[in-house]
Amino acid sequence: MAVHPQIQEDKWKSLRYLIGGIFLVLVLIEKSMGFDPKATGSFLPKQGFRNIGKSQDKAKFAEPSDPFTKENWEDDLNWEEEVLIQTFPDSESKQKPQTKLVDETIPEITLPEDRFPGTGKRLQVDAGYLPVYFLKFYGTGKNSQSQLVKLTREFPGGDPIPFLFQELTKGPNPEEKGKGVLSALSKRVRMDPNYRLENGILHLSISEDIHYGGSMEILKDRLDQISFTMIGNFGIKGVVLYSNGERIRSLGSDGLTIPEVLAKSQRKVIIF
């Protein structure tokens, strides 16, 4: 059966419209995807339409990978080793030498007021009885406390300063020891016979043994024995102690601070 020519022509027109519409849709899709036909000189990309409906970049998720599958895995390990070395330095690395803050070439300087002033005029006193101060402990254990004890010594006359200091280091006699009297100053502590009494201040030079042996309380007792025995007699108002030609500023390993001038402290005195 023959097809009518008019019907045949209408079919070809419909086919052309359909193909033209499909081509227009394809062009619009390419433009929406950013394809510029003028820049490339062609309406269609080289890859065709295989990417239509697919995202341009596929999301990548971190997946554990075997580092030993890489050809350069040794380089990665070397990089990690360098990081560890920089982060945690070797403890045995040489330390930079510290700069000395003290210049050993600079000699120590003793101020004039810290030096022993030198020998002065010696005292001369007639024979008589002179007071000396010792110690006696009361109480037991931790409750034990020392008290000053005032005793007298017969003085034959002459210079009283070396005599009194020697009596302090000799300590109490056997009868006094039997009553519990003792001295915080041992026989090892020596006094230089050269002293100076000036403006009521007695300057004494004694040996370093005054620093050794005894607690902080015993060191205080030593100072009190000296100050109470010397001060109040022969116009003495205060005492300054020296050792090796320099003023003693502190006593003992604990560093008991000594005042500029020793004076009588506020403490009880027992008279025997």
Q: What is the pLDDT averaged over residues 17-34?
A: 76
How far apart, in whole angstroms, are the C-alpha atoms of residue 230 and residue 173? 20
CA 84 to chain centre: 31
pLDDT value, residue 3: 52
Question: Please, which pLDDT band fits residue 227 given cuts at 50, 70 and 90?
Answer: very high
pTM comes to 0.58
How far apart, in whole angstroms, are the C-alpha atoms of residue 196 and residue 120? 4
pLDDT value, residue 84: 39
Contact between 134 and 183 (Cβ < 8 Å): yes
The answer, yes or no, to whether residue 50 has pLDDT greater than 60, is no
The answer, yes or no, to whether residue 210 has pLDDT greater than 50, is yes
Q: Which tokens go with 30?
A: 């390419």
Question: Please, which pLDDT band fits residue 237 given cuts at 50, 70 and 90?
Answer: very high
Mean pLDDT of the chain: 77
- The radius of gyration computed from the CA coordinates of the chain, to the nearest angstrom, equals 54
